[in-house]
Amino acid sequence: MDSQHNTVTEEATGQSEKRDVELQEQDELPMSTLPTARQVIGRVISTNFAFFMAGMNDAATGVLIPYLQPAYNIGLLPVSILYLVNFTGWLFASFTNIHLCSRLGTGGTLVVGAIVQFVGYALMFWKPPFPLYATAFFFTGIGVAYQDAQANTFTTGVQNAHRWLGVLHAVYGVGAVVSPLVANTVAAHSRYWHYYYLVTLGLGLINICLLAWTFRKGLFRPNVLSAKDTAGKELKATLTNKAVWMLNAFFFLYVGAEVTAGGWVVQFLVSVRGGEPSKVGYVSSGFFTGLTVGRVALADITDKLGERHMVFVYLALSVAMQLMFWFIPNVIANAIVVSFLGFFLGPFYPVGLSVLTKILPKEIHIGAIGFSASTGQAGSAAFPFLTGAVASKAGVKVLQPIMIGLLAGMVICWALVPRQKKNLH
């Protein structure tokens, strides 16, 4: 009986291990070696398109502020609440991402995120009452956060991850470049500024289909069979790691600076510099163009010269650009300088993720990347909200000292990030 019981147990264990291997193969992430981008090209394309959609989402609100204010007859404080609602969506996603992924897998979580983002646009495009319009930002925040976390996690598992992370975040920049161009064109040439969200609604449907197709093998199934049992432990290990929190703080400030600069620069040029909304609306695209170019052009240079050192160099140059923007009262000069600001800010996010994978234990990589991506991106909503809240009382001129403060905070956080340990497995 004991012999028969042992045989059955061994067979069950063997079948369980076989299912784990099959699921791993279905997810196209070999256990012994990392896949090349060519081997998983479909997923590389779909995750990059998801990031393009994130860029389209994040860069539009700032351009539309001069149009939605008279449409809803509201001041800057209600506008800033949009960012606060978006922040709550990101925060919700940061604590639920690991548990959702443990049950639905990478592909399933991506698809759920795309669907929730689509729901947000479905609430926006017909210009609903302002409370409902604001609520939609909660859904877009959750949807983008889930996709952001999973796309970053997937990309760190591809060979030459530092380069592909640069490409991934550059594609985000492309979306952020296209978004103000489309939004400003729609808003400046018609009374229906909200029809911009019809564009994102259509692209959102394509996003859902593309992610569902490329991740169809093992879709809505965990990456490994034991994931549901270990999700809680992984989240706890992530939350108790000091390096995670320092990198989270860096990401939180960085993404806050990125979206604050891109989101409020148009309103600053209109209110403080006296620019025409239909003309300066395109300056936001210049900022995100610099961001996009920087992420691609500086990726290999940063890797070769040293990530820790080069981040300090880029931060110093970013502070210089921000000071020039502040003290040169000329719209054309401001447009040029803000493009260079975007260029030097560009590499920070992919570089930070690359460093994260080097200094943290491998067993918490998935949890740490997902948590950092979500809570870090929460800065994209928190600081634009704070800027708007303060600007509603003191004016949009507060943008400049807030940006300098964010950059200074990034210097401190980056200095406190632990160095890579030798022989870390």
CB contact at 8 A, 215 and 28? no
- 22 domain-assigned: no
Q: For residue 44, give the CATH number of its domain.
A: 1.20.1250.20
What per-residue confidence (pLDDT) applies to 80? 83
For residues 199 and 182, give the distance between their C-alpha atoms in angstroms, rounded to a whole number. Answer: 9
- 83 domain-assigned: yes
Q: How many CA atoms lie within 13 A of 48 on its CB side?
A: 15
pLDDT digits (tens, 9 = 90+) for 168-201: 988 988 998 899 889 988 988 888 899 999 999 9
- 354 domain-assigned: yes
**How many structural domains comprise the chain?**
1
- 27 domain-assigned: no
Q: How many CA atoms lie within 13 A of 296 on its CB side?
A: 12
Residue 297 neighbours by CB under 8 Å, 6+ apart: 343
- 49 domain-assigned: yes
pLDDT digits (tens, 9 = 90+) for 218-254: 888 887 644 555 666 776 777 778 888 888 899 989 9
- 167 domain-assigned: yes
What per-residue confidence (pLDDT) applies to 229? 54
The C-alpha angle with vertex 251 and arms to 246 and 255, in degrees rounded to 5, equals 155
What per-residue confidence (pLDDT) applies to 248? 87
- The parts of the chain modelled with pLDDT lower than 50 are 1-32, 225-226, 423-425
CB contact at 8 A, 234 and 98? yes
Domain containing 292: what range?
A: 40-416
CB contact at 8 A, 334 and 278? no
Reference 402, options 413, 392, 387, 388; nearest CA is 387
- 151 domain-assigned: yes
Q: What is the pTM of this model?
A: 0.77
- 175 domain-assigned: yes
What per-residue confidence (pLDDT) applies to 116? 97
